[in-house]
């Protein structure tokens, strides 16, 4: 039974309105933070990371891992930094002998039953147990007892569970119950027999967000089946990007090795996706690694065959023909997976040729999948990243929800036909056959591009710099993670060069130039430039004020 | 002679009626003055009831010894939300068996205490969280509650006073940790029995998120007597800081183990010799744990001079806890006894806090290895350090409970540990070499 009496009475009801900020000292540094901030978050503001496992800013705080205990002057016991709120004149020590000694002790406890199979653990290199123990753990272990063994379990979905590596932080359980709000995981048993488990055989199957538990698991207890033993963490390059699988625009990182995307991870952005992303977006990256790419410009010869030529030759011939046909109506088909810069350049090209109609086709799902505990995040119905961008540029949607049909008029058009990015999967080799000039701009060569006079190889968003506009109008940048194959170039560069020649305007040299040109030409993109967008994007300035997306982090 | 054993040294307040099956019946209880204190309390304001309990100096009998009246006064005076009184009847501390007896011999005394407590803290609902293994006790309680409802002592407009108080008995499912106050609340709410971080304290945010007070069975059983007779009356027993009487659960190597209600401050030596009839078979005393397995062990010398109240136990080097006196004679294997206690904590840790989850089982593993003769002296240093690392670093104090038995036994019975070490053994135990091996 309890051997220590409660240390203090319940806090009295607040009286006078308290000041909005609190000033305290952390490791000798004076810190001023909003009232109600926890010590752990206050320490972050001066660059001090207090080690922790169970705390995650997107989840409730059970204060159970006991790693973030810090010394607070006047408190009889060390206090958990994750739930102890700051107070005026508080003196906190996170690296004192006491605090360090405590952490060393807790870390030793973690190792009592930990398998330390780092050499074959996918988390190795980015593991918070490895990192903390290396930084602050005991030099030599004292454990000689046999270790507890749980073994492995397939949790369903993309998730494998290595029970022996679990540090019992319950982040995974809390994510499923508090964020996805679909309780699929629980702690079974108690004491050091506690183990994470699923309820029924279905496990995580049928959930939409469970991939996130692999990210937030601080160790290698939850690992991705898709990534299992694929690459070592230290061999991966991380490139900030934007998920291209729906119009939410989750901020992500593409992790690559040897010019291959190995996995996709969410990147924190409280205005868009918090710390999360859906399982569809996470799994949708193999297409970026496809090898059957168009590697050189192709020009159709008199005998109907195609010849690979240099860029100069392809564009030279194309310009000559375009000038002859200038004034003939243009019909263009674009993909909503193309960047704002690419679409903007295409719109300019159509204008320079004398104008015409630009349509896009894009798949739509019947339902939105909302992340219940962070409802500003949903897998949107529009399954392409830049539908909003295309709409803002006056392009309009044709075809069915599976992105087929709607191209009858383009197919039979006898003027100029330009296709950007649409794979034309539902079309045959007669597509564009009656066009006076048919230009196909894409990454792969479909049968429906056989009639094209010129085929121009371009890059995917994973190979170029650019921006997408998400469903809420937020413009967000992405960066090249892969080297483009062969002679493929970004569409904005290729189309921009043609526009320059046709109109005499300056040719954009960088993606930033291309965006600047777009911002000047189209008010809906106005008021923004690359430096201002940063890594987390922004809403365009419309009549001086940023449009609020209403999105807010949990 | 009655109820297994009784002694003329006892001062029986809450244990009146132990051994008398008639006392269970509501009619007998009322005949003997039962529910009179409830009527008296209803005639006072809730705050006046709190004052009487404060004046008595009654301290929580669940182990921590926190003054009950003071605890009650933490509750909001103007309720804006429902208040709850929880009665902690999960009694699971090794060596403790007093609450069970209080409930099975005198259930109405507890119900009356609960009603008075609820009135004092302005609660309209009381939950008695009763240990699941107490099968018979649960039945007795349920029966008594039914009768009390039928006779109008519980429920709507009790005895025409206009007060509504409901009482529910909730059966636990067998976990020591559900006796920890916030673990009990989690369990009562239908969750895993996990203790919660304080603050918020129960008086602000307790069961179901509402202001809550939690008291032990024995604490609440003392309340009707105090309200009926006054705070000064209760102070005729015990000392300034430890007033009143206390049930002592004596187990182990005495001739007459059992529950004895004695004035606080009673000498431990006299408890063993006079009340419990001395050591079994005339054996000599080796050690005593005065307050349940969570408190330090006293050696015979310390035990002989120990006064059994809150201050006296601290002076002797231990704590009164819930006054579960475990007496061990010279045949006791201290290492094994302590290992057995540590096994209990390792088994019962809820597993949230790393120091407790890993530390308790690690300690148990080392203890087992020492018991089996494979220990080294360095293991004792490790034990001292890791158990210390478990003190004051966790959500609840289950973790803190591992250190007292381990550390006190290593300090006071080091020789017994050393005698089991590999080094000490190796000369005696021949290494078996299979035939044919050089
Ligand atoms: C691990 C643990 C187990 C406990 N078990 C019990 C118990 O079974 N019964 C009890 O009354 N108190 C138990 N307590 C003490 C309670 O937390 C609490 O202090 C007590 O119920 C308060 O009542 P009191 O003020 O009347 O003593 C336990 C404490 C801990 C830390
Ligand atoms: S979880 Fe971390 S410490 Fe454990 S095996 Fe994996 S990399 Fe090593
Ligand atoms: S599996 Fe990972 S996230 Fe889940 S409790 Fe274990 S360590 Fe934490
Ligand atoms: S100290 Fe032990 S029993 Fe108490 S909450 Fe922590 S793990 Fe659970």
pLDDT tens figures, A449-495: 999 999 999 999 999 999 999 999 999 999 999 999 999 999 999 99
Measured between CB atoms, which of A66, A113, A190 is closest to B394? Answer: A66
Q: What's residue A4's pLDDT?
A: 37
Q: Is the distance from the beta carbon of residue A2 to the nearest atom of ligand 1 less than 6 Å?
A: yes
Q: Residue A202: what pLDDT?
A: 87
Residues B279 and B327: their CA atoms lie apart, in Å, by 9
Average pLDDT over residues A380-384: 98
* Mutation probe of ligand 4 site: the residue of B192, B354, B398, B400 with most atoms within 8 A of C-beta: B398
Separation between Cα atoms, residue B342 and residue B428, nearest integer Å: 28
User: What is the residue with the minimal CA distance to atom 4 of ligand 3?
Assistant: A172
Q: Which two tokens stand for residue B233?
A: 């009356």
Give the nearest chain A residue to B88 (CA atoms): A1
* pLDDT 10s digits, A347-374: 999 999 999 999 999 999 999 999 999 9
Q: Cα(A178) to centroid of ligand 3, in Å?
A: 15
Question: Ligand 3 within 6 A of A214 CB?
Answer: no
State the complex-level ipTM. 0.92
The CA angle A73-A75-A79, to the nearest 5 degrees, is 95
For the cut 50, the answer to whether the pLDDT of residue A553 exceeds it is no
Distance, CA A190 to ligand 3 centroid (Å)? 15
- Residue B337 CA to residue B319 CA, distance in Å, equals 19
pTM: 0.93
For B355, which of A6, A106, A193 is closest by C-beta distance?
Answer: A106
Instruction: For residue A166, list chain B residues with Cβ-Cβ distance below 8 A.
Output: none
pLDDT at B429 over 60: no
**Domain B21-234: CATH architecture, name and number where available:** 3-Layer(aba) Sandwich (3.40)
Q: How many beta-carbon pairs below 8 A join chains A and B? A: 143
pLDDT tens, position by position, B236-246: 999 999 999 99
Q: Check pocket membership of B348 for ligand 1, CB cut-off 6 A.
A: no
pLDDT tens-digit profile of A179-219? 999 999 999 999 999 999 999 888 999 999 999 999 999 99
**Arithmetic mean of pLDDT, A317-338:** 95
Chain A environment of B326 (Cβ under 8 Å): none
Structure tokens at A314: 């392809």
Of A6, A77, A106, the CB nearest to B354: A106
DSSP per-residue letters across A188-235: ESSGGG-EEEESSTTTTTT-SSTHHHHHH-SSTTEEETTTTTT--GGG
- Ligand 1 site, residue B214, Cβ cutoff 6 A: yes
Separation between Cα atoms, residue B438 and residue B434, nearest integer Å: 9
Whether the CA torsion A180, A182, A185, A186 is positive or negative: it is: positive
Given an 8 Å threshold on Cβ–Cβ distance, is A3 in contact with B294? Answer: yes
In this predicted structure, what is the pLDDT of residue A549?
39
For residue B62, pLDDT beyond 50:
yes
Question: Is the domain B334-425 a CATH 1.20.1730.10 member?
Answer: no
Domain boundaries along the sequence of chain B:
21-234, 245-329, 334-425
Please report where in the chains the tokens 């009390």 appear, as a residue.
B148
Query: What distance in Å separates the CA atoms of residue B266 and residue B245, rounded to the nearest whole number?
Result: 10
Out of A66, A145, A194, whose CB is closest to B351? A194
Question: Residues 6 or more apart from A449 whose CB is under 8 A from it?
Answer: A419, A424, A431, A440, A442, A455
pLDDT-based confidence at residue A402 (cuts at 50, 70, 90): very high
Set of chain A residues whose Cβ sits within 8 Å of the Cβ of B72: none
Work out the burial of residue B20: count CB atoms within 10 Å of its CB; fewer than 13 is exposed, 13-18 middle, 19 or more buried: middle
Rounded to whole angstroms, how far apart are CA atoms B45 and B56? 17
Nearest to A3 among B74, B201, B397 (CB): B397
Q: How many Å apart are CA A504 and CA B248, to the nearest integer?
A: 101
Q: Which ligand is nearest to the CA of A62?
A: 4
For residue B22, give how far its alpha carbon lies from the nearest alpha carbon of chain A (Å). Answer: 32
Q: Which residues of B touch A115 (CB under 8 A)?
A: none
Q: For the sheet containing A21-26, what is the strand order? A: A29-34, A21-26, A91-93, A69-72, A79-80
| Residue with the larger pLDDT of the pair A326 and B259 | B259
Q: Which CATH architecture has domain A144-235?
A: 2-Layer Sandwich (3.30)
pLDDT band at B433 (very low <50, low <70, confident <90, very high): low
Q: Is the minimum distance from the CB of B357 to ligand 4 under 6 angstroms?
A: yes
With vertex at residue B147, the alpha carbon angle to CA B114 and CA B187, rounded to the nearest 5 degrees, is 45
CA distance readout (Å), A290 to A280, A281, A418, A489 = 18, 17, 24, 16
Answer yes or no: is pLDDT of B120 > 50. yes
Distances (CA, A) of A336 to A339, A363, A481, A528: 8, 9, 20, 21
pLDDT at A447 > cutoff 90: yes
Q: Find out whether the beta carbon of A121 lies less than 6 Å from any atom of ligand 2.
A: yes
d(C-alpha A554, C-alpha A284), whole Å: 26
Percent of chain A past pLDDT 90, that is, above it, reads: 89
Write down the mean pLDDT value for chain A.
Answer: 93
Is residue B272 packed enough to be buried (19+ CB in 10 Å), middle (13-18) or exposed (0-12)? buried
Residue A111 alpha carbon to ligand 3 centre in Å? 15
Q: How many Å apart are CA A346 and CA A334, to the nearest integer?
A: 9
Q: What is the mean pLDDT of residues A129-139?
A: 95
Distance in angstroms (rounded) separating the CA atoms of residues A529 and A37: 34
What is d(CA B396, CA B305) in angstroms, rounded to the nearest whole number? 32
* Exposure on the CB side of residue A414, measured as CA atoms within 13 A: 0
Q: Helix crossing, B377-389 with B403-412: angle to 10°?
A: 150
Share of chain A above pLDDT 70, in %: 94
The pLDDT of residue B430 is above 80: no
The closest alpha carbon to A238, from A213, A264, A215, belongs to A264
Which CATH code fits A21-111?
3.10.20.740
- Cα distance between residue B162 and residue B160, in whole Å: 6
- Please report the pLDDT score of residue A505 as a whole number: 87
Q: Residue A165 C-alpha to ligand 4 middle, in angstroms?
A: 20
pLDDT at A554 exceeding the cut of 50? no
Name the band, by pLDDT with cuts 50, 70 and 90, for residue B434. low
Residue A551 vs residue B265, higher pLDDT: B265
What percentage of chain B exceeds 70 in pLDDT?
A: 97
Angle between helices A97-112 and A128-136 (to 10 degrees): 130
A543 touches chain B (CB under 8 A): no
Q: What is the DSSP string of B109-140?
A: HHHHHHHHHHHHTT-SEEEEEE-TT-HHHHHH
CA dist., res. A518 & res. A350, Å (int) = 14
Answer whether B369 sits within 8 Å of A145, measured CB to CB.
yes
Task: Please list every residue in chain A whose beta carbon sits closer than 8 Å to the beta carbon of residue B246.
Answer: none
- What value does the mean pLDDT take over residues B382-396? 97
Mean pLDDT over B194-219 rounds to 97
The answer to whether residues B231 and B240 touch, using CB atoms and an 8 Å cutoff, is: no
Task: Measure B368 CA to nearest chain A CA, in Å.
Answer: 10
| Tens-place pLDDT, residues A16-26 | 565 699 999 99
* pLDDT at residue B95, rounded to an integer: 95
Chain B contact for A9 (CB, 8 A cutoff): yes
Contact at CB, A76 and B346, closer than 8 angstroms: no
Predicted confidence (pLDDT) at residue A545 exceeds the cutoff of 50: no
DSSP annotation string for B278-299: SBGGGPPEEEEESSSTTSPPEE
The CATH number, out of the four listed (3.40.50.720, 3.10.20.600, 3.40.50.740, 3.40.50.620), of the domain defined by the range B245-329: 3.10.20.600
A187 chain-B contacts, CB cut-off 8 A: 192, 351
From B350, B360, B390, B393, mutation site for ligand 4 pocket: most ligand atoms within 8 A of C-beta: B350
Q: Is A62 in the B-facing interface, judged by CB distances under 8 Å? A: yes
Q: Which CATH class is domain A298-533?
A: alpha beta
- Find the CB nearest A10 among B74, B361, B392: B74
Q: How far apart are CA A23 and CA B352, in angstroms?
A: 32
Model confidence pLDDT, tens digit, residues B297-309: 999 999 999 999 9
Chain B hits for A167, Cβ within 8 Å: 354
For ligand 1, mutation pick of B66, B88, B292 (most atoms within 8 Å of CB): B88
Phi, psi of B160, rounded to the nearest 5 degrees: 70, 10
Each domain of chain A, given as residue ranges in start order, spans: 21-111, 144-235, 298-533
Whether A188 contacts chain B with CB within 8 A: no
B352 CA distance to ligand 4 centroid (A)? Answer: 6
Q: Which residue of B has its CA nearest to A169?
A: B352
Cα separation of B259 and B242, whole Å?
A: 19
Mean pLDDT of A512-523: 93
Q: Residue A308 has what pLDDT? A: 97
Strand partners, A333: A359, A419
* A472 contacts A551 by C-beta, under 8 angstroms: yes
Indicate yes or no: CB of B400 within 8 angstroms of CB of A11.
no
* Dihedral of the alpha carbons of A545, A546, A549, A550, in degrees to the nearest 10: -60
* DSSP secondary structure code for residue A146 in this structure: P
Q: Which atom of ligand 2 is nearest to the CA of A117?
A: 5
- Atom 3 in ligand 3: residue holding the nearest Cα: A217
């Amino acid at each position: 039974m309890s051997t220590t009496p409660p240390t203090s009475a319940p806090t009295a009801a607040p009286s006078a309105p308290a000041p909005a900020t609190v000033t305290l000292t952390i490791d000798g540094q004076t810190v001023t933070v909003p009232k109600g901030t926890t010590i752990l978050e206050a320490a972050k503001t001066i660059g001090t990371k207090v080690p922790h496992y169970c705390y995650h800013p997107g989840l409730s705080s059970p204060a159970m891992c006991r790693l973030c205990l810090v010394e607070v002057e006047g408190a009889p016991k060390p206090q958990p930094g994750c739930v102890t709120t700051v107070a005026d004149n508080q003196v906190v020590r996170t690296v004192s002998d006491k605090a360090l000694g405590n952490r060393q002790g807790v870390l030793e406890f973690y190792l009592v039953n930990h398998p330390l199979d780092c050499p074959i653990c996918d988390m190795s290199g980015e593991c918070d147990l490895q990192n903390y123990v290396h930084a602050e753990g005991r030099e030599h272990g004292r454990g000689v007892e046999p270790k507890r063994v749980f073994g492995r379990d397939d949790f369903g979905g993309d998730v494998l569970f290595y029970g022996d590596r679990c540090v019992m932080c319950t982040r995974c359980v809390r994510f499923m119950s508090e964020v996805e709000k679909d309780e699929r995981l629980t702690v079974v048993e108690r004491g050091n027999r506690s183990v994470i488990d699923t309820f029924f055989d279905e496990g995580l199957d049928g959930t939409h967000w469970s991939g996130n538990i692999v990210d937030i698991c601080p160790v290698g207890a939850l690992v991705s089946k898709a990534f299992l033993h694929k690459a070592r963490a230290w061999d991966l390059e991380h490139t900030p990007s934007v998920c291209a699988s729906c119009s939410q625009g989750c901020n992500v990182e593409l992790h690559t090795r040897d010019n291959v995307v190995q996995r996709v991870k969410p990147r924190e952005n409280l205005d868009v996706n918090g710390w999360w992303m859906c399982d569809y977006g996470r799994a949708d990256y193999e297409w970026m690694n496809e090898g059957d790419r168009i590697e050189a410009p192709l020009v159709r010869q008199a005998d109907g065959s195609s010849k690979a030529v240099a860029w100069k030759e392809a564009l030279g011939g194309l310009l000559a023909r375009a000038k002859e046909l200038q004034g003939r109506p243009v019909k263009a088909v674009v993909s909503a997976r193309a960047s704002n810069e690419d679409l903007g350049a295409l719109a300019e090209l159509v204008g320079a040729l004398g104008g015409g109609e630009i349509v896009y086709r894009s798949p739509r799902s019947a339902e939105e999948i909302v992340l219940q505990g962070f409802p500003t995040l949903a897998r949107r119905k529009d399954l392409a990243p830049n539908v909003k961008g295309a709409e803002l540029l006056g392009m309009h949607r044709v075809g069915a929800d599976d992105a087929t049909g709607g191209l009858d008029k383009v197919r039979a058009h006898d003027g100029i036909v330009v296709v950007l990015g649409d794979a034309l999967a539902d079309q045959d080799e007669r597509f564009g056959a009656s066009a006076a000039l048919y230009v196909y701009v894409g990454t792969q060569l479909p049968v429906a591009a056989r009639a094209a006079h010129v085929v121009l190889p371009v890059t995917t968003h994973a190979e170029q710099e650019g921006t997408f506009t998400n469903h809420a109008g937020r413009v967000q940048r992405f960066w090249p993670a892969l080297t483009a194959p062969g002679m493929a170039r970004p569409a904005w560069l290729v189309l921009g060069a043609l526009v320059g020649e046709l109109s005499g305007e300056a040719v954009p040299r960088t993606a930033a130039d291309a965006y600047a040109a777009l911002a000047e030409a189209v008010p809906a993109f106005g008021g923004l430039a690359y430096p201002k967008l940063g890594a987390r994007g922004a809403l365009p300035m419309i009549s001086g004020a940023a449009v609020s997306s209403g999105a807010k982090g949990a | 002679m009655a109820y297994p054993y009784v002694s003329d040294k006892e001062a029986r307040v809450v244990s009146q009626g132990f051994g008398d099956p008639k006392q269970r019946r509501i009619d007998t209880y009322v005949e003997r003055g039962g529910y009179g204190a409830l009527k008296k309390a209803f005639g006072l304001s809730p705050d006046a009831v709190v004052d009487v309990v404060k004046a008595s100096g009654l301290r929580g009998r669940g182990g921590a010894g926190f003054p009950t009246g003071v605890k009650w006064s933490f509750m909001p005076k103007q309720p804006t939300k429902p208040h709850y009184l929880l009665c902690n009847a999960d009694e699971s501390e090794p060596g403790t068996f007093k609450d069970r007896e209080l409930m099975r011999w005198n259930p109405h005394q507890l119900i009356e205490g609960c009603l008075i407590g609820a009135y004092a803290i302005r609660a309209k609902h009381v939950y008695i969280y009763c240990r699941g293994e107490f099968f018979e006790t649960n039945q007795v309680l349920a029966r008594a509650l039914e009768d009390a409802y039928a006779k109008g002592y519980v429920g709507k407009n009790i005895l025409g006073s206009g007060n509504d108080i409901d009482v529910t008995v909730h059966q636990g499912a067998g976990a020591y940790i559900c006796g920890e106050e916030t673990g009990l609340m989690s369990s009562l709410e239908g969750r895993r029995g996990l203790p919660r971080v304080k603050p918020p304290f129960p008086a602000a945010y307790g069961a179901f998120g509402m202001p809550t007070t939690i008291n032990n069975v024995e604490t609440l059983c003392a309340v009707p007597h105090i309200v009926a007779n006054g705070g000064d009356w209760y102070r005729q027993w015990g000392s300034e800081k430890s007033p009143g009487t206390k049930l002592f659960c004596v187990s182990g190597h005495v001739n007459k183990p059992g529950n004895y209600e004695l004035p606080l401050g009673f000498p431990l030596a006299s408890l063993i010799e006079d009340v419990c009839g001395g050591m079994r078979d005339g054996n000599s005393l080796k050690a005593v744990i005065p307050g349940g397995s969570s408190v330090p062990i006293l050696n015979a010398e310390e035990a002989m001079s120990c006064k059994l109240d809150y201050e006296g136990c601290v002076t002797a080097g231990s704590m009164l806890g819930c006054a579960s006196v475990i007496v061990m004679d010279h045949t006791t294997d201290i290492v094994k006894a302590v290992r057995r206690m540590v096994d209990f904590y390792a088994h019962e840790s809820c597993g949230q806090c790393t120091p407790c989850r890993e530390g308790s089982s690690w300690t148990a593993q080392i203890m087992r290895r020492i018991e089996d003769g494979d220990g080294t002296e360095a293991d004792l240093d490790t034990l001292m350090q890791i158990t210390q690392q478990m003190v004051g670093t966790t959500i609840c104090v289950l973790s803190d409970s591992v250190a007292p038995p381990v550390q006190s036994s290593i300090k006071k019975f080091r020789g017994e540990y050393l005698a089991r070490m590999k080094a000490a053994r190796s000369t005696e135990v021949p290494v078996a070499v299979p035939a044919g091996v050089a």
